[in-house]
Amino acid sequence: MKLIKNYINGKWVETNTRRPNINPSNTNEILSEVCLLSQEQVLECISGAVKGQKRWEEVGIEQRSDILKKIGDELIANATEIGEALAKEEGKTVAEGKGEVYRSGQFFHYYAAECLRQMGDYTKSVRQGVDIIVDREPMGVVSVITPWNFPIAVAAWKVAPALCYGNAVVLKPATLTPNSAYLLAKIIDNAGLPNGVFNLIYGSGSSIGNTIASSPDVDAITFTGSYEVGQQILSEAHKKMIKCQFEMGSKNALLISEDADIKTAVDCAIAGGFTGTGQKCTASSRVIVESGIYDQFKEAFVKQTKSLVVGASTDSNTQIGPLSSKSQLETVISYLEEAKKDGATVLCGGETLKRNTPGFYISPCILGNTTNDMKINREEVFGPLVCLIKVDSFEEGIAVVNDTPFGLVSGIITQSLSKAMIFRKKVQTGCVSINLPTAGTDYHVPFGGMKGSSFGSREQGTYAKEFYTQVKTTYLKP
Ligand code: NDP
């Protein structure tokens, strides 16, 4: 049995408390066992990271850049092998798994270049004969807490900038998908970082999460996951008043304008609603359709959705893999049942499926006859379940898009430039897609949401430095 170990202060650490890692496409298969740490071991790891960070600060930006480049190279060179392993433990298709690993490599390449672009500002003081230098310093030890749905990409887009700007990292991945982070750590281990700069720790959020958040040696926390856990972390972190950056829940909407090209609308609704089995923070789980195009869109969307192939993540025909866990499957079913009681109509899917191997398979589901005030349209389901909401006008459509406590992504399908620009301006989301699926973002520009979807400064691109650095202003009289 493959053993997944922790990586602390440059060493692989085994423990006797272990948890099986089950393949969601074949629940008879235990892929590996992960070693879980105690709270004391977590604290030891964090104090090692404090020393590691001092060593890392001494490493010049060119060498840092080379190390990040090497990590990116290795991820891209091994995208197929790691992507397959990722798909096996998370449930997404192999194509999606490979794409995720490739993209993770690009994050490291991007921040390898950013290492060499860490310019400060120089200016004159308002006081005669005084100069001013404004530059940035690392935060120190950054705790990175990641979810299971993008187990390498989310880690990569947080770890790469953290290292780029001179921080040490303590990465705590989701317990459900330990192998993906382990494979990333193996690559980082070979890249030549000083000991203690990068650390990987395993343990359930409920047992070690509080230890991380309350540790006096953690200087900043970046987290992606549920709103509730974000609140728990914040309540601890606030006591120490440390910097936090959270990406949390969402309830993204795609608005189909009555002038939309039907093929684009259907392709985007499918890509945004069902890829990754709907388990994406950028998924468009609400599709709001203007009444003039409702029937035509509904018919085409249902027809194409019914043709999607659900199967094992490693099967080359599969378009939609299983859900990631039994609890995720139960959650989706329970939301579906409640929506039906609230008056929603199942237009297709929503059935658990049997395949050659036992897994958490469910057919992609479209619900009609839903209104925005139903629970199904208020809370994040995280599954292949899309609700259609009919509206009588473009203006009503925008109002429904914004009628949610969340604000990560919104999208519109329209052939009208004017509608697209009005939409872009009026929606209360951090990201906007026009004639594109809501899921799918670039790595060189900011990512994040408004309202309850995010907390703190933006991730990715040059904006990441707001979180991973602190600013120093120096007044100098030569
Ligand atoms: P969680 O928020 O529970 O978990 C995300 C990460 O936080 C995991 O590493 C988890 O560890 C950790 N964690 C859990 N509790 C604590 C804590 N008290 N302190 C510190 N860290 C903690 O998300 P789930 O994985 O349980 O998913 C639940 C729901 O969250 C999903 O159905 C979805 O709605 C939403 N979600 C949203 C994501 C997004 O991208 N916006 C991503 C993932 C989930 P562990 O795995 O060990 O519990």
pLDDT band at 342 (very low <50, low <70, confident <90, very high): very high
Task: With beta carbons less than 8 A apart as the criterion, state whether 255 and 397 touch.
Answer: yes
- Mean pLDDT for the stretch of residues 15-20: 97
Nearest to 449 by CA among 296, 282, 199, 206: 282
Q: What pLDDT sits at residue 389?
A: 98
The secondary structure element, H or E, covering residue 338 is: helix 326-341
The secondary structure element, H or E, covering residue 18 is: strand 18-23
Closest Cα to atom 14, ligand 1: which residue?
205
The one catalytic residue among 114, 247, 258, 290: 247
Q: From ligand 1's centre to the CA of 225, what distance in Å?
A: 4
Q: What is the percent of the chain with per-residue pLDDT over 90, rounded to a whole number? A: 99
- Contact 232 CB / ligand 1 (< 6 Å): yes
Q: From ligand 1's centre to the CA of 261, what distance in Å?
A: 37
Task: With beta carbons less than 8 A apart as the criterion, state whether 278 and 382 touch.
Answer: yes
Closest Cα to atom 19, ligand 1: which residue?
209
**Is the pLDDT reported for residue 102 higher than 90?**
yes
Q: What pLDDT sits at residue 261?
A: 98
**Is the pLDDT reported for residue 289 higher than 90?**
yes
Nearest to 36 by CA among 4, 60, 63: 4
DSSP 3-state of 225:
coil
Q: What pLDDT sits at residue 1?
A: 86
- Mean pLDDT for the stretch of residues 118-133: 97
- Contact 145 CB / ligand 1 (< 6 Å): yes
Closest Cα to atom 48, ligand 1: which residue?
205
The one catalytic residue among 45, 164, 281, 431: 281
Q: From ligand 1's centre to the CA of 95, what distance in Å?
A: 24
**Is the pLDDT reported for residue 94 higher than 90?**
yes
pLDDT tens-digit profile of 430-460? Answer: 999 999 999 999 999 999 999 999 999 999 9
Closest Cα to atom 42, ligand 1: which residue?
225
As a whole number of angstroms, the distance between CA 276 and CA 149 comes to 8
- Contact 225 CB / ligand 1 (< 6 Å): yes
Helices and strands in the chain, H and E counts:
14, 21
Closest Cα to atom 16, ligand 1: which residue?
205
- Contact 224 CB / ligand 1 (< 6 Å): yes
- Mean pLDDT for the stretch of residues 167-182: 98
- Mean pLDDT for the stretch of residues 359-375: 98
- Contact 383 CB / ligand 1 (< 6 Å): no
- Contact 148 CB / ligand 1 (< 6 Å): yes
As a whole number of angstroms, the distance between CA 211 and CA 218 comes to 10
> 281 catalytic, yes or no?
yes
> 247 catalytic, yes or no?
yes
**Is the pLDDT reported for residue 320 higher than 90?**
yes
- Mean pLDDT for the stretch of residues 72-95: 98
**Is the pLDDT reported for residue 25 higher than 90?**
yes
- Contact 141 CB / ligand 1 (< 6 Å): no
- Contact 174 CB / ligand 1 (< 6 Å): yes
Q: From ligand 1's centre to the CA of 297, what distance in Å?
A: 34
Cα dist. 171→112, 203, 393, 458 in Å? 19, 11, 47, 19
Q: From ligand 1's centre to the CA of 256, what distance in Å?
A: 31
Q: What is the percent of the chain with per-residue pLDDT over 70, rounded to a whole number? A: 100
- Contact 176 CB / ligand 1 (< 6 Å): yes
pLDDT tens-digit profile of 207-263? Answer: 999 999 999 999 999 999 999 999 999 999 999 999 999 999 999 999 999 999 999
Fill in the amino acid letter for 106.
Answer: Q
User: Which residue of 224, 226, 323, 360 sits with most ligand 1 atoms within 8 Å of its CB, as the best mutation to test the pocket?
Assistant: 226
Q: From ligand 1's centre to the CA of 23, what distance in Å?
A: 19
**Is the pLDDT reported for residue 175 higher than 90?**
yes
